[in-house]
Structure formats: structure tokens, C-alpha cells
Structure 1
Amino acid sequence: MDTPSTPSNFLRAIIEEDLKNGKNDGRVYTRFPPEPNGFLHIGHAKSICLNFGLARDYGGRCHLRFDDTNPGKEDPVYVNSIKEDVQWLGFDWGEHLYHASDYFERLYAFAVELITKGKAYVCSLSAEDMRLYRGTLTEAGTNSPYRDRSVEENLDLFARMRAREFPEGTHILRAKIDMASPNMNMRDPALYRILHQEHQNTGNAWCIYPMYDFAHGLSDSLEHITHSICTLEFADHKPLYDWILDQLDVPSRPRQYEFNRLNINYTVTSKRKLKTLVENDVVGGWNDPRMPTISGLRRRGFPPAALRDFCERIGVSRSDSCVDMGVLENCVRENLDAAAPRAMAVLRPVKLIIENYPEDKEEFFELANHPKNPEMGSRKVGFSREIFIEAEDFMENPPGKYFRLSPGREVRLRGAYLVTCQDVLKKSDGTIKAVICTYDPESRGGDAPDGRKVKGTLHWVSARHCAQAEVRLYDRLFTVESPGKEADFLTQINASSLEVLTDCKVEKSLTQASPEARFQFERQGFFCADRHDHEPDRPVFNRTVTLRDSWAKVTK
């Protein structure tokens, strides 16, 4: 078995020490255990990469387990989306797909065992009274008046709870631990509650459901998980995790380890806040490319390899921190710069007429698909008398150090010819109708035959050989680094996070691009064909990232 030569984080160090000491019979079993009550986000991507990556690197296995103990909030739609996201990220659970609900009968038996050992009891306090009896962070709780019920009475009530004799809220099964514990999670926590709700996996087979804290550790044990890895917010739950396992005759004894969750500036990863964004129509759904959901990042064009690289770079530790969004964007740029073929697209077109180029003539230039990777081949790009250039690439009265097109100035059309601006045609409202140029027929390929220097190089598309496309320019959703920290996060939305351009001109070959195909539009940034809306007769492209970080300019 190959293992990393040097532990890069404390979790690797723990695993390597366990392997060295022969712990767990040399097994490394991890799990990714999402609750299917929403869509996964970038924070989950870190956990996916960590759990599956550790299992891969140490010759073990990682389970995908749905901790589906809350039927009112869970849905098969979420189950399917989670499986799709994990696979898209490049990981495979093989035959090890599980649900906590697969173990409901065994979990019920464990609860009965706790009752029999005098470690759990049925409490009949109302929810409001339970809160009062629980105490506060500075005051101890008070024992429930039902805490001393006999084992026989508790077993009878628990069986009748399962038999649907009671309405919701009348009884709850609680662990008997310590109502004076400084850890609120240890003050006789709930283990089972009555819910007359249909479950996404078990249907109507059950009307009592285990609490997450009860089911989670026991599910780990039933699956023989060796390293139960979770984020730091579960650190206060660890004593309960251990207590439950220590009271019962379990098949294996997993250990819980906590790491820092992923926090990124200029975004939110709270499920509640993400749901608010969707329900308030701030975004176009859970897979909106501005969302930090995995499905949103995928739709925006982020490659899975870039997300894996990002998760590797930020590492894991035991202390919380906030990662700059630029780190993620740079991972995406690096991946796409090497892998994305080049193409030309004019987002805000202005027509350029080459008056000395024959009207009936057309040519095709062979352009490389990637400047550094000849193996990616080349493509033929049509050229004609009328072409489109970017509106910002022409100025009638340019400032100093402006090297693009202006009256009397010569520029290079990428891979084609040198052209010189001769005149400007304007509409009645004063806006530009067309730029009139002449070309140098001896400069085919874009180089001057006499060696003269031309500083400006423009991208272009031929009016005769292009297609019209919709291009969506996405930017960060929030204007502040920590949304919601000092004000309502809904008041900090970036009004310029989406701009839709409907009259873009692109190389005609791009209409045949497959959904999710990624490109670098020269001088514009990295783009992808929208995975849902892109069609040959209606091409739609999303900007993934700019060629460089331009956020500082946006926020000024």
C-alpha cells in the first residue's frame, strides 16, 4: 500500500499512527454522511474530497451514507442530486451505499437495550416544559418527573409509541445521563420522537424516528467505520457520540475526529440562507451559477479537478478560518488555462467593414485550439469583408497608451490581417453604426511583411461565419467579505452579479458545443456551454471566471 511520504495534516498523522500500531486491523473506513434535506455546497465538497481521499490514499474505502432520520425535510430529489454531485467530483462509493434508515430495526433494538440497562426513559413532558427543565448555559437542568419510570413501564411505552398509539409530541425517549452537565448535549438528550410522517426510504413503516445524534454513531459502528470525520461544530456532540457507543454492545468502536469547516468570503454556505436566496428569487434556483452549491458551480463551468485541487490546497486543521474566494477562482483558472480550447467571441459587437476587401470573397484561417498544446489541434475560422469586433476595442478619441483601434491607427486582427481605421459611420442618435477600415493584403496571418510593429491585437468574428449567442456574465453574489455579519445578508447582494448579453457573436462551430463544454474566449475569460439551456439553435454560454481577478475594480 502506498501512503503519502509526509503527513500533510493531522488526520493523516492520526491514520498513519493507527496503521503503524495495527489499530482497526489495518483498516481505514471513512464515510460521507449527508442528510438528504438539501443540495450540497462547496463546504460539502471539502468533506467529500477529504473522506474519499483519505480512504483512497490509505487503501481503505469510503461509504456514502444518507443520515435520513428526519422525514419531514428529506426527499428523493436530494438523494439523487447528492449521488450525482459526489460522482461528478470524481468519487465512487462502489457497493457501499447506505441509509441510516436501513438500520431502523437495529437502532430500535439498541434503544430497547438502553432502556433495559436503565440508561434511557420515556419522557412525557411537553416541548415547552422540556426546554424549561433543561436549564441554561449557566444554570443546571432539572430532572424530568418521568426520569424514574421503571424499566418495564419504559419498555411498554416505547413499544406503544412504535405501535402508533400516541400522537406526535406526547412522548419522547431520552438518554439518562446528567442534567447538571456543563455540556448541554449531555442533559438527557432526546433519542427517539414520534413523527407520523412518510419517510423517503421506508415509507410508512415507522412512526418513531431516531434523533441524528443517536443514529449517527451507531450507523458508523454498524458499518465498521474506523475514522468518523466531521466538522468542528460537532465537537460538543462527541461526548454523546462516545457515551452511546460505550453503553451498548456494538459491533465496532469508531472514533470521531473534527476538522475546520470551509468558510469562503463573499458567499454564504448556511443551508437556511441558501434556501432564503432561492425562495426570495434572488437567484434562479439551487443550481444558479452564482450559488456555492456543487450543482451551481458545475453549471457555471468549474471543473471537478479544480474543486479537488482547491480542497487539497486549503488543507484541514482544528481551527476555523476563512478562505479567500480568489484561491478557488485561481484553481479554476489554472485548470482551464491548461485544458480549455480557445475560441473567439464578441460580446458587445460593433461592425467593422473592410472597404478594400472584395464583397464576394471569403477565406478560412487555420487557428490553433490551444497556443501551448498542439495535440488539441486546430480549427478553420471564416473571414469576410464584414466582421465584428468588441465595442471597447474602438475609440474615436482615445487616451494615451490606448493601443486598440482608432482613426488612422493600424491593429492586428488575430490570425488574419492588419487593418487601419479610415472612417466611422454613425446612426442618427450618434452611436456607431460601423467602423470603416482598409486591410493590408500582404499581412495574411497577422504579420506585417515589412516588419513594422503593430501593438494592438483584436479578436473578431466574421459576420458571414458567426452565430448569435446569449452570454451570461456572472460575478460574486455579495458585495462584502462576510455577508450577514454586520447587516441582513439580503441587503448586501451585488446588483451586478449577473449581466445577460443577448446579441453576442461567436464562432459558428460553438453552436455544436456539448453542454458543459469549456472554452477560453480570447481576451474575455473562461466560459462554458450552459448544461441546461445551451442548444445548437440557441447557444448559451456562462462566464466561469475572468482571465484575472478583477473584483477590486468591480467593488470600487
Structure 2
Amino acid sequence: METRPGNNFLYSLIADDLAKGRVQQVVTRFPPEPNGYLHVGHAKSICLNFGLAESFGGRCNLRFDDTNPEKESQEFIESIKEDVRWLGYQWAGEARFASSYFGQLYEWACELVREGAAYVCDLDAQQAREYRGTLTEPGRNSPFRDRSVAENLDLLARMKDGEFDEGSRVLRAKIDMASPNMNLRDPILYRIRKVPHHQTGEEWVIYPTYDFAHGQEDAIEGVTHSICTLEFEDHRPLYDWLLAHLPVPGRPRQYEFGRLNLNYTVTSKRKLRQLVDDAVVEGWDDPRMPTIAGMRRRGFTPASIRCFCDMIGVTRSDGVVDVAMLEHAIRDDLNENAPRGMCVLNPLRLVLTNVPADHREQLVAPRHPSREELGNRELTFTRELVIDADDFREEANKKYKRLVLGKRVRLRNAYVIEAHDVVKDATGKIIEVQARIIPDTVGEDPADGIKPKGVIQWVSVATGKRATVRLYNRLFNHEAPDRGDNAFMDFLNPESLQVVEDAWIEAALAEAVPEQGFQFEREGYFVADRYQHTPERPVFNRTIGLRDTSGA
């Protein structure tokens, strides 16, 4: 899917760069840190970076900015690759890593030292904060700022060789401690981290900061448009300062856009990790999580996510998007493409007293009401069925449009029936409804002209299959759960998951392949679980209801 110009200021900016000859080929990059699974905000960035490259016939790199090995892992790397592919994109060449450039970055750090533009600082973290100043007061120069080039080169080499403890020394750029931009007050370029790296092993004990590495990585890769979220706008002067002070092979330009913020959603990786670590959810790909893997397992489609990202557009300011827009995109896609089926979530036995016990009748129903190319499906009609218990009452007022004693309803894609009796257990609970079919009413109204009041779904007891159905709802019941540091845990929705262990489904639904989506008629949209669904024990996850019932 190519990016549309109408709701994307970056499209116009890049088109102007090409028209004026500033760039010859568009090169973008998607640069995630592999410290967690990607979430819906990353989906917007993926669609933006890859979509812009596609629109202009350019290329987009996938680069892992793996400069913080304590929190990174190969699991996250593989999950990110899978997410990008699932959304329908392919990066140019091989996946890239910041760690592949560690040697070059270190040489450039030495170059800054030789130029007198960087120095080794011995202030500890607390002292560094005190020297840094505030938003209203300038900082103070470090007492180590005027070390000689020779001493700084020696100390940096010894840092690299592992001679010093973590936190004892850092390499800082020498810029301006009085700058109104805090990012220019002698920012840290290298710090000591004596931990193994998932790509380089124990080769390095010092690691570059993201701010130091990012622009140089872009330059090495020939990136023309380095697209970041708005919080990096204040970092752009440092990005440009480093490029100007180093012999890099190119001069990429950084541009910022407003990040995606959804109501009823938390996207902080730290908070998502807490949900996983505290077993609030079953993992990063729990269908209640806003991760791409979670949305995939819940039954969201790549097309719907890409459509949503296109709908919200790209702006220069942050804002909050109503999650109902995402839900609308999902419903719209599934309504158009999901085949239909019947499922009974709260089964109640229905016996058709004027149908023989051995009756087997094959009825035909469309797989989709408007997609003839999807064909038809067969439904086996028998004497004993299950219907949803909520679809029957002994007595009801005229507003109730389902089955009532002495009244008629249509069984979906089958006969009109009229209920005449019930069977109850010792507690008075109804365990069976008895009804008779009205002959010759498949696909037409009764010959006597008495029309049914409604339509209900059903499944044959003889041929239907038992299934586990998970009913997912929003994980948070507050529209701004991320408003405080830990307040989000107070807004967890206790009804975010309900599990139905004894649902009944059409026999053919058991043969669905994992990740195949359906509309369960009158119930909502569901997907065969990516990992647990089998024909022997079907497992379906509710993607979303037929309409918004959240009251949001």
C-alpha cells in the first residue's frame, strides 16, 4: 500500500526534495530497539517508512538499534522481523544492526576526541545531573572538560579495554553547557556496560548511546530521510552537530511526525513488560495487548491495520486517536472479507418434535452474503439442535424478537419453528425446548402467512463440534490509562477475558486453519487461534463485536 499525499505532510516534503534534486533516490529506515515486541504505534511508523519508500520507488532498511544490550534479545529481533513481514513489507537487503557499526563508531568517537570535541568525564550520575543545570538555569562545565587530547584518547582506550568499572567514566561531546537545548549540554556518547551483547558477544564493554549512533548509522546506510517521532525534535540539533563534526559518507536529514496515541491503550514498553512480567496477560502476544503480535493473534488483519494508519494520517503534532477508529477499520475489513459461520456460545438443547430421530437433511448457506465467489457451505439439519439460551423465553413482550412459547422464529438458513413446550430440571432450570418445524419454509415465509418474529443461530447436536471460545474485551476500562506512572494498573478491566469452554460450532469451522477469520453470525468476528486451534479441539478468539458496545 502506497502512502497517500493528502493526509501526509512528509509525502509533500519528499516530493519537493526529489523535484529540486536534493536527493536522487529515497532511502528510509525503520530502526526499532529490540527490547520488546512492537506495538500499534510502531505499526504506524512501519507503514510510514515503508510506505513512503514504496510511493517514490525507493528502499527502506530494517535496522536494529541494539546499543542497550541489557534489555535486548534475539526473541525480540525475530518477533520484529515477523511483524514487518506480516504487515506486508520487505526491507531492502539484509536486516541491519547498529552493532555491525560499533568499530566504525568507535573510530569516529576517537576522531571527535582528536578534534577536541569530546572528552572522558569522571562525574558520577548524581554529579552529572547537578552540573547539567535546569530548564531555566545553565549548566556548569565538568572539571574534566579540559583534559588533553592525549589523556582523553588514553582513557577512552582503557574504557574500551575494560579497565574501569561501570558508571565510573563516560565519553561526552564538548558542545555548550549553557545551551537552552538540554540535549546539547555535553551529551554522553559512550558508557561502560560490562554485559554480553546478543550480536557481538563479549567483544565490547563500552556501548554508544542512541543519540550518538543514530545519525552516523543513517549516513553509513545512505538514508535520505530519517523519520522520527516528535519527541526527537529537540535531539535534531545534536544529530546535525555530530554529522557536521565527523567524516560521514552522507548527510541524512531528520524529520519528525506526531506519534500514535490511542485512548484505552498503553504503549510504553516498560509498562507492557510489566503486564507480561506480572502475569496480567499471558505474554507479549496476548490478544488483549496492543502489540502487533497480540493484534494478529486476536484476528486483526494486516490490511485493516494499514488502512487505519492511512485513515489517521501523518501530522506534525501529537494527539490522541479514538480506538474506535481502529475498531471500525477492523470491522470494515472483516465484514467485507470474513466468511460466515454459526456458533452457539450458551447452548440450550432444542428438540424438533415433528422431525424423525434419524433425520439428516443437507441445507445450503452462503459463505458470505455478497461474495458469491466464496461459494456455499453445507449445514446438516437434524432433530436435535442447540440454540443460545439467551434466544429463548417462556414469556416475553412484543419487543423480544426471538423464540417464545407459542411464537415463531426462523432458524438461520433453515426452517421456521414454533416452540410449544419446555423441559426443566429439579431446580426449575430449563434444559430443553421443544418445538415443531413449519414445513416448506426453508428460504421462504410460512404458507399460512404468519411471519416469524426473528432469526436465531443453531448447530446440530449430531454433527456440530465443541469449541473453546475466548471473548476478549479492552484491557483497560479508562480512556487514559497511561496518564500516570503506575496508575494504569488501577484501570485494568476485570472482564477483559471470558472463556467459554463448551461452545458449539458448525462442523466445518473445526477444519479452519489457524489465523483464519470468520463472522459468527449474530455474535461477532472470531479467529482460529494462531497456536492452539486444532480440528480435534477448536479454539477461537473473538476479534471484535459486530458493533461498538463499549459505551466509549
> If the length of structure 1 is used for normalisation, what is the TM-score?
0.97
1:473 aligned to 2:471? Answer: yes
- Match runs of 1:325-474 below 5 Å: 325-445=323-443, 447-474=445-472
Aligned to 2:62: 64
Output one character per residue of 1:27-47: Cα deviation in whole Å (capped at 9) or x when no partner: 110000000010000000000
Map 1:174-323 → 2, pairs under 5 A: 174-323=172-321
In the TM superposition, what whole-angstrom CA distance separates every residue of 1:465-524 from its partner, at most 9, and x where no partner exists?
100001011111111110142681111111111110111000111111111110000010
**CA 1:5/1:426 → structure 2, altered by over 3 Å: closer, same or farther?**
closer
Task: Establish whether residue 526 from structure 1 lines up as the match of residue 525 from structure 2.
Answer: yes
Residue 122 of structure 1 deviates from its aligned partner by 0.7
Q: CA-to-partner distance for each residue in 1:447-470, whole Å, 9 max, x for gaps?
A: 323444223111110111100001
Kindly tell me: are residues 268 and 436 of structure 1, through their superposed partners in 2, closer, same or farther at Cα, counting changes over 3 Å? Answer: same
SS of 2:275's equivalent?
helix
Checking the alignment, whether the CA contact within 8 Å between 1:415 and 1:446 is kept in structure 2 is no
Letter in 2 for 1:512: E
The separation in 2 between residues aligned to 1:430 and 1:6, in whole angstroms, is 65
**Contact conserved, 1:414 with 1:446, CA < 8 A, in 2?**
no
CA 22–324 in structure 1, closer or farther in 2 if over 3 Å, else same: same
In the alignment, the residues of structure 2 paired with residue 4 and residue 429 of structure 1 have an alpha-carbon distance, to the nearest angstrom, of 62
| Conserved? CA contact 1:417–1:447, under 8 Å | no
Once residues 280 and 269 of structure 2 are traced to their aligned partners in structure 1, the CA distance between those partners, rounded to angstroms, is 15
Tell me the equivalent position of 1:11.
Answer: 10
Give the conservation status (yes or no) of the 8 Å contact 2:3–2:310: no
Q: SS at 1:443's partner residue?
A: coil
The one-letter code matched in structure 2 to 1:212 is: Y
Q: CA deviation at 1:3?
A: 8.8
Distance 1:211 1:5 in 2: 35
CA distance in 2, matches of 1:289, 1:197: 33
Change (3 A) 1:337 1:16: same
Structure 2 partner of 1:136: 134
Is the Cα–Cα contact under 8 Å of residues 31 and 64 in structure 1 kept in the other structure? yes
C-alpha separation in 2, matches of 1:364 and 1:283: 43
Moved more, 122-131 or 315-324: 122-131
> In structure 2, do the counterparts of structure 1 residues 265 and 3 end up closer, same or farther at CA, with 3 Å as the change threshold?
closer
Mapping of 1:33-52 within 5 angstroms? Answer: 33-52=31-50
User: Unpaired segments of 5 or more residues in structure 1?
Assistant: none
Q: Is residue 4–residue 310 contact of structure 2 (8 Å, CA) maintained in 1?
A: no
Q: Aligned with 2:404: secondary structure?
A: coil
Query: Offset of 1:23 from its aligned partner?
Result: 0.9
Relative to structure 1, is the Cα distance of residues 4 and 402 closer, same or farther in structure 2, using a 3 angstrom cutoff? closer
Give the whole-Å Cα distance in 1 for the aligned partners of 2:489 and 2:428.
Answer: 40
SS in 2 for 1:442: coil
Aligned equivalents of 1:57, 1:413: Cα separation in 2: 50
Q: Is the 8 A contact 1:412 1:446 kept in 2?
A: no
Q: 1:117 aligns with which of 115, 133, 140?
A: 115
- State the AA in 1 paired with 2:425: K
Amino acid in structure 2 at the alignment position of 1:169: G
Report the number of matched residues: 551
Equivalent residue number for residue 22 of structure 1? 21
Alignment RMSD, CA only?
A: 1.5
- Asked whether the 8 Å contact 1:32–1:51 carries over to 2, the reply is yes
CA distance in 2 between counterparts of 1:456 and 1:427 reads 27
User: Once structures 1 and 2 are overlaid, which stretch shifts more, 75-84 or 434-443?
Assistant: 434-443
Judge conservation of contact 1:413–1:446 (CA < 8 Å) in 2. no
User: Which residue type is aligned with residue 394 of structure 2?
Assistant: E
Residue in 1 aligned with 2:496? 497
Tell me the amino acid that sits aligned with residue 63 of structure 1.
N
1:289 corresponds to which letter in structure 2? P
User: SS in structure 1 opposite 2:440?
Assistant: helix
SS at match of 1:69: coil
- With over 3 angstroms needed to count, the CA separation of the structure-2 counterparts of 1:208 and 1:299, relative to structure 1, is same
Distance 1:541 1:319 in 2: 39
> Taking every aligned residue pair, what percent have the same amino acid on both sides?
56
Residue pair 1:289, 1:299 contacting (<8 A) in 2 also: yes
**Does the 8 Å CA contact 2:62/2:92 hold for their aligned counterparts?**
no
Q: Distance in 2 between matches of 1:442 and 1:184?
A: 80
| Shift in CA distance, 81/3, structure 1 to aligned 2, threshold 3 Å | closer
Q: Could you tell me which residue of structure 2 aligns to residue 515 of structure 1?
A: 514
**Are the structure 2 counterparts of residues 5 and 145 from structure 1 closer, same or farther at C-alpha, using a change threshold of 3 Å?**
closer
Which AA in structure 2 matches 1:9? N
Once residues 430 and 139 of structure 1 are traced to their aligned partners in structure 2, the CA distance between those partners, rounded to angstroms, is 77
Counterpart residue identity of residue 237, structure 2: P
Instruction: Tell me which amino acid in the other structure corresponds to 2:7.
Output: S
Q: Which moved more, 1:479-488 or 1:99-108?
A: 479-488
How many Å apart are 1:400 and its aligned residue? 2.8
Structure 2: how far apart are the matches of 1:484 and 1:218?
33
Tell me the amino acid that sits aligned with residue 411 of structure 2: L
Measure the CA separation in 2 of the matches of 1:239 and 1:306. 37
